[in-house]
Amino acid sequence: MGEKKKKKRNPIPLRVNIIFFTVFLLFSALILRLGFVQIVYGDEYKKEVEKKEDVIINTSVPRGEIYDRTGKSIVSNVGKNAITYTNWKKDKPEKMRETAEELAKIIKMDSEKDLKKITERDKKDYWILINPDEAKKKIPEEENDQLKLKYKDDNKEYQKAYDELLRDRVTEKDLNTLTDLDLETLAIYREFQSGYYYTPHIVKNEGVTDKEIAIISENLEKLPGVDTVRDWDREYEFGGTLKTVLGNVSTSQRGVPAEEKDSYLAKGYSMNDRVGLSYLEKQYEDVLKGQKKKVKYIKDKKDEIVNSEVLSNGAAGNDLVLTIDMKLQLEVEKIIEEELKKTKYGYAGTQYLDRAFVVLMDPHTGEVLTMAGKQLGKDDKTGKQVVQDFALGNITTSYNVGSVVKGAMVLTGYKEGVISPGSHIQDATMQIKGSNPFKSWKPMGLISDLTALKQSSNVYMAKTAIMIGKGHYAYMQPLNIDLEAYPKIRNSFSEFGLGVRTGIDLPNEMAGFRGAVDPNKPANLMFLSIGQYDTYTNMQLAQYISTIANGGYRIQPRLVKEIRETSNEEGQLGPIVQEIQPKVLNKLELKSGWMEQIHRGFRMVMQPGGTGKVFAGASYSPAGKTGTAEAFYDGPLRKNKDAEPPQVMNVSLITYAPSENPEVAMAVMVPWVYTTNDGPSPNLTIGKRVMDKYFELKNDKEKE
């Protein structure tokens, strides 16, 4: 018995050891976990304990400026005082209202603009905000309980219904209790609310006096979130000149366009950033906007800023140097305006005439030296006749241009093998069975391609087009043509720049309109061959004549010559960032002698006996082609859109000079000139005066 008792062991120490070992493992796991948390998440939890928050603010920088090719300022920035508000602490409405009221005691909002923006709803909401006790009485408890019961499952809808009901019960008498100070405060409060958290929002930037700036600076502790900064406005040194092409910049109140919000935000913009809204300002937004200054602000658990760090200093936007010569531009605009008025008021049948366009371009580089357009209109306020800038019409409006296309038509005939340099065709009145007679401005008999260009033969072109369409013309007989002639001619024209976008560095360029291909109307092909079926823009005409002038290279026209850094020295351009190089869009596939034949014909046009004989004797040896087109008016004065539009005459001109070594190409377009059988030729008077002025200014510059 004794031995058995001796062998029996007490189980308690084993259990204790197991428990101690388990505890040891748990503590070890806990220590490992704490170490992991400390190492991996230590900074994050420390920040959470300290309740610090990093806020990155982007500060706007001055926008790049715009200069002409000679360094003259076209668009600059003019600095001005501004007052901003930044909601750093995500303040509640009452706190924002208190700040707005303090600010209202210092500044006066623009009554014409800011106070008139205040709606009746704004006033009601503000009355409710400053009269919470009286507002609460407007909805009795029983009625409020019924609302809660109705929307018991949707607190958001309940609050919306409650707010609407409360607004409805704010009376005119209640609103009349709002004082002038209340309204000033409300105008400022509205601006506060329209901003975004942590983003400076401009409250006032018009008429902010130095005195207001000084008082605000002295009282910033009473005005949390309010600050004073320097803002800017775009200033146009030449007034309305080229304004439609330069485009516009948004205000700080409008900010980025709502329809493009996502795109801008993805690029790092803030909603109230000022951006280019149209044309050059929009096209070169990435260049002009600059790089914002980025500052990181560190906030503590009380939402107070305890530190800041500059992440990047930012940089002002780069400047644009345009290809435009503003001195030449102004002279051309003056000529257009004078000739437009002289034609409008000096001849009968010009009731629809209201616009004219001129483009001057370097045919070798595509640099647009002048892009001018003028439009006659009426001042909305006075009703008086005014002349408005319409330079943009060179790319946004298209017309039947007439015989200027005949150079492209002759070359198309060469390429299709239906005619060759020196080919003769009989010019006599044509008539297809069932169609009206088709003829040139005079019977010319048997003529060559050179005479067809010089005398502007319609018949020569029409018969060339028919041959391209594999048709056989006979007087008063039906005519069948291969409809593939239309795309053949149009594709050929497009290689010169006609009927396609030129690629100019501006948005919203139009390509023009193409007439329908109707197998039952073969005469339409004849009208296509003389520029009276499809429509083209004046910029397309400039690209087309440049292609002929330079020997067959279609060059992309452009308005920006260089991109430069902003200069610190007034009146000086900064270093070049990028020099824009010429871009060849396509090269014409021509046989030797073809283009030289067109050059000969175009020189003959400008000599005695040619349709451009007004240029005869010009010292700069011009070459080119004139155009007159029967068209239909579809402008602003057309009243009955269902009735057949009135018939009008469009006139045009393309030219280059000197003919042996061209340095400038020009296109002139004057639509809807007259409705009578015969009329003036402002295309020639404008074109001659403009080309004379170009070489006059060039000679003056060489003498300097």
**Strand 319-322 to strand 66-67: parallel, antiparallel, or no bridges (unpaired)?**
parallel
SS3 category, 378: strand
Q: Is residue 230 over pLDDT 50?
A: yes
| CB half-sphere exposure, 411, CA atoms < 13 A | 32
**Strand 368-378 to strand 355-361: parallel, antiparallel, or no bridges (unpaired)?**
antiparallel
Q: Kindly name the residue from 60, 270, 278, 403 that is annotated as catalytic.
A: 403
**CB contact burial 495-524 (16+ within 10 A = b; e otherwise):** bbbbbbbbbbbbeebebbeebeeeeeebbb
% of the chain with per-residue pLDDT over 70: 90
Tokens of 307: 């530190």
SS3 category, 417: coil
In the numeric block, the tokens 């006996």 are attached to 609
Check the CA dihedral 412-414-415-416 and report its sign.
positive
Cα-Cα end-to-end distance for the chain? 137
Between CA 325 and CA 370 the distance in angstroms is 7
Q: Is residue 114 over pLDDT 70?
A: no
Tokens of 673: 């000139």
SS3 category, 168: helix
User: Contact, 434 vs 465, CB < 8 A?
Assistant: no
Residue 5 binned pLDDT confidence (cut-offs 50, 70, 90): very low
What is the pTM for the complete model shown?
A: 0.82
Longest alpha-carbon distance in the chain: 152
Distance of CA 616 to the CA centre of its chain: 41
User: Contact, 216 vs 82, CB < 8 A?
Assistant: no
pLDDT mean across residues, the chain: 88
Residue 309 binned pLDDT confidence (cut-offs 50, 70, 90): low
Nearest 5°: the CA angle 619, 621, 624 is 135
Residue 440 binned pLDDT confidence (cut-offs 50, 70, 90): very high
Distance of CA 283 to the CA centre of its chain: 6
Q: Does the annotation mark 403 as catalytic?
A: yes
For 640-653, write each residue's pLDDT tens digit.
777 889 999 999 99
Q: Is residue 674 over pLDDT 90?
A: yes
CA-based nearest residue to 535, from 504, 514, 508, 518: 514
Strand partners, 315: 291
User: Contact, 679 vs 703, CB < 8 A?
Assistant: no
Q: Which of 118-122, 263-267, 618-622, 671-675 has the lowest mean pLDDT?
A: 263-267
Residue 199 binned pLDDT confidence (cut-offs 50, 70, 90): confident
Between CA 632 and CA 515 the distance in angstroms is 13
Query: Which span out of 54-58, 106-110, 249-253, 457-461 was modeled with the highest average pLDDT?
Result: 457-461
- Over range 462-489, report the average pLDDT: 96
For 311-353, write each residue's pLDDT tens digit.
666 678 899 999 999 999 999 999 999 999 999 999 999 999 9
In the numeric block, the tokens 């520029």 are attached to 531
- Over range 85-93, report the average pLDDT: 80
pLDDT for 4 equals 45
**CB contact burial 306-334 (16+ within 10 A = b; e otherwise):** eeeeeeeebebbbbbbbbbbbbbbebbbe
pLDDT for 46 equals 59
For 677-692, write each residue's pLDDT tens digit.
899 999 999 999 999 9
- Over range 436-444, report the average pLDDT: 95
Between CA 415 and CA 588 the distance in angstroms is 10
pLDDT for 270 equals 74
% of the chain with per-residue pLDDT over 90: 57
Residue 80 binned pLDDT confidence (cut-offs 50, 70, 90): confident
Between CA 42 and CA 34 the distance in angstroms is 10
- Over range 280-284, report the average pLDDT: 94
Distance of CA 388 to the CA centre of its chain: 19
Between CA 185 and CA 522 the distance in angstroms is 73
For 162-172, write each residue's pLDDT tens digit.
889 999 999 99
In the chain, what are the helix, strand and coil shares in percent, each to the nearest 5?
40, 20, 40
pLDDT for 52 equals 59
Q: Which residue has the higher pLDDT, 444 or 157?
A: 444
pLDDT for 663 equals 97
DSSP of 316-376, one letter per residue? PPPEEEES--HHHHHHHHHHHHHHHHHHHHHSTT-TT--EEEEEEE-TTT-BEEEEEEEEE
Q: What is the 3-state secondary structure (H, E, C) of 209-253?
A: CHHHHHHHHHCHHHCCCEEEEEEEEEEECCCCCCHHHHCCECCCC
CA dist list (Å): 640 to 286, 397, 643, 646: 45, 21, 6, 10
